[in-house]
Chain A
């Protein structure tokens, strides 16, 4: 971690953060009295209006972790990282106009993707898909606590490494307490508060950053560090076409249509027209949730490139960016700690922490409900009471939280956080893409094809840096991910043709 950096974070800022977090806990306790059943707990009783759905969709996805991994990409990739923002904004807009995947799912009234598997392919695929989804989803969350702790310690100037472990432990206790209290009803309230604070906070921070650094010095720093690859995403020394295609698929299509939290949002609104509106309006938010943090990451690059003391912490002697992913991840919060004045830094920090809680509780709730509804309930043929479902979901949330703490403490990241997130998510989403697209839009999709495609999605695990180190290979994560998608589609297609489902008998 950088030495010699004093943060502007003051006692006033700590008071703002603590007050803000206590306030959200009180909200959680208050809304708990509205929870009647699993539908209230998971999709807020399908009672969200369009604006609230947009706020909660952006609020949930514009979390601290998103801001951290997007800022890191801006730091390590320069302006050309904006192609990820374009993919993330353009695809939901197209989905809003076409209703691709999400409208057929909404018509079926499903709350989770495996529930669709059950309807289309049968109970076995639902359970298998549910297990894979929960495993990939929990793995995908594995670095959330680490990212949150890096943010808090860098922002506040707690530079001793031991504080990262302490902050991770405190954060998980706060998140678990909040999530188990209220479910989706409280999630939408915190999403709303966090949407307001973080949206305006990020915009203000961008203005302050440009004012502090000057536009020209930002451009010059990117040119010095990255060269032409810092502006041109197709440049062979930068991202390249394979990475762009991978982002179009993951940050664009999968994040907005196949990732479980997005599907839950589509299930939460009142009707199909609202689903379309939700996606059209949210597309701006999806674009911005990448672009503004990426820009702040670029500003951090420009700031530390010319910093007399901290330069050596983020760059090598020959002007290359440091290879340690945790160091590049910390550049953005360190930068905030340097340029934001006392008071404002507390508000932005509180907003980011609320964003962290909001995202965390959305995901915890999501994966726990998948295990309950798509694994446990089908295995028991639905013979499980509402009370037992809620209790089991809350127990699972606590167990997942404990796993996340252990994983966050021990897993060696070894790659940009965004790439870890996309690859770990792909373990589920590559198979899911094949099952959904060929299940909804092709009549011949069969059960055997579904099992094969889901299994092929597991190939994405070879995109994780520690796994590559373990098996002695070195491949770009984008190539592995695209290969897994191709394998899943191919196996789904060929498996369905070779092993079609038996025609259903005519009921007597």
Chain B
């Protein structure tokens, strides 16, 4: 039982620490991705409005 408890304790501490670091990285990187996604979609939207005959 003690070895199982040791395993779960290590996993919990390690997992939470790695996740905290990952959360910071993802939060920063994803904010940049959102900006880029809106630029892409905005450009696509603009192109579609310019050439309505291209759409079927």
The answer on A and B forming one complex is yes
Binary A-proximity of B17-37 (CB < 8 A = 1, otherwise 0)? 011101101111111111011
Interface residues on A, range: 35 or more
- The answer to the question of A451 belonging to the interface, with a C-beta cut-off of 8 Å to chain B, is no
A291 to B27, CA, bound (A): 20
What's the Cα separation between A186 and B45 when bound, in Å? 16
Stretch touching chain B among A105-113, A121-129, A280-288, A319-327: A280-288
How far does the alpha carbon of A85 sit from the alpha carbon of B20 in the complex, in Å?
17
Task: Flag A29-50 by CB within 8 Å of B: 1 or 0 each.
Answer: 0000110100010001101111
Given contacts A51-B26, A200-B23, contact A291 B34 (CB under 8 A): no
Contact with B along A288-314 (1 / 0, CB 8 A): 100110010000000000000000000
Residue from B5, B16, B20, B45 within 8 A of A33 (CB atoms): B45
Q: A44, A52, A82, A195: which contacts B11 (Cβ < 8 A)?
A: A82
Q: Is A486 in the interface zone, CB < 8 Å from B?
A: no
Q: Does A342 contact B (CB under 8 A)?
A: no
Given A51-B29, A86-B11, A231-B5: A285 and B44 within 8 A (CB)? no
For the A-B complex, the count of residue pairs with Cβ-Cβ distances under 8 Å equals: 112
Query: By the criterion CB–CB under 8 Å, are B32 and A51 in contact?
Result: yes
Determine the distance from Cα of A292 to Cα of B20 in the docked complex, in whole angstroms. Answer: 12
- Among B4, B18, B22, B26, the most chain A Cβ lie within 10 Å of the Cβ of B26
Across the interface, do B27 and A185 meet the contact criterion of CB distance under 8 Å?
A: no
A228–B25 Cα distance when bound, in Å, is 38
Is B4 touching A284 in the complex (CB atoms < 8 A)? no
Question: CB within 8 A of B20: which of A55, A82, A203?
Answer: A203
Residues of A within 8 A of B (CB): 33-34, 36, 40, 44-45, 47-56, 58, 79-80, 82, 85-86, 89, 185, 188-189, 192, 195-196, 199-200, 203, 206, 219, 223, 228, 231-233, 281, 284-285, 287-288, 291-292, 295
Q: Could you list some 5 contacts between A and B, CB below 8 A?
A: A54-B30, A55-B27, A206-B16, A231-B5, A288-B16
**The 3 residue pairs across chains A and B that have the minimum distance between CB atoms:** A51-B29, A49-B33, A52-B33
Chain B residues within 8 Å of A, Cβ to Cβ: 1, 4-5, 8, 11-12, 15-16, 18-20, 22-23, 25-34, 36-38, 40-42, 44-45, 48
